[in-house]
Chains A and B, each alone.
Chain A
Amino acid sequence: MSQPLAPDTPAPDFTLHSTPDQQVSLHEFRGRPVVLAFYPADWSPVCGDQMALYNEIPGEFARHNAQLLGISVDGAWSHAAFARDRRLHFPLLADFEPKGAVAKLYGVYREQDGCSERALFVIAPDGRISWSYLSPVGVNPGADGILDALEKLGAGAR
Chain B
Amino acid sequence: MSRLRPPVGADDHALGPADAPVTLVEYGDYECPHCGRAHPIVKRVLRRLGREIRFVFRNFPLGEMHPHAVQAAEAAEAAGLQGEFWRMHDRLFEHQDALETQDLVGHAKQIGLESARFARDLESRALEDRVRSDFDSGVRSGVNGTPTFFIDGVRFDESWDEETLFAALRAASQQRR
Contacts and interface: CB of A to CB of B under 8 A. Distances in A.
A1 interface: no
Main secondary structure of the interface of A (DSSP, over half): loop
- The size bracket of the interface on A is 20 to 34
B144 A50 contact: yes
Interface of B: 2, 5, 29, 32-34, 60, 62-65, 135, 139-146, 155, 157
A157 interface: no
Interface of A: 46-50, 52-53, 55-57, 60, 86-87, 136, 139-145, 147
Q: Which 9 A-B pairs have the closest CB atoms?
A: A48-B145, A140-B144, A142-B144, A142-B142, A144-B142, A48-B146, A47-B32, A48-B62, A143-B139
Contact of A139 (B139, B141, B144): B144
Contact of A144 (B2, B146, B157): B2
Contact of A53 (B5, B32, B33, B144): B144
A47 B62 contact: yes
Contacts of A46: 34, 145
Interface centre among A48, A57, A86, A141 (most CB of B within 10 A): A48
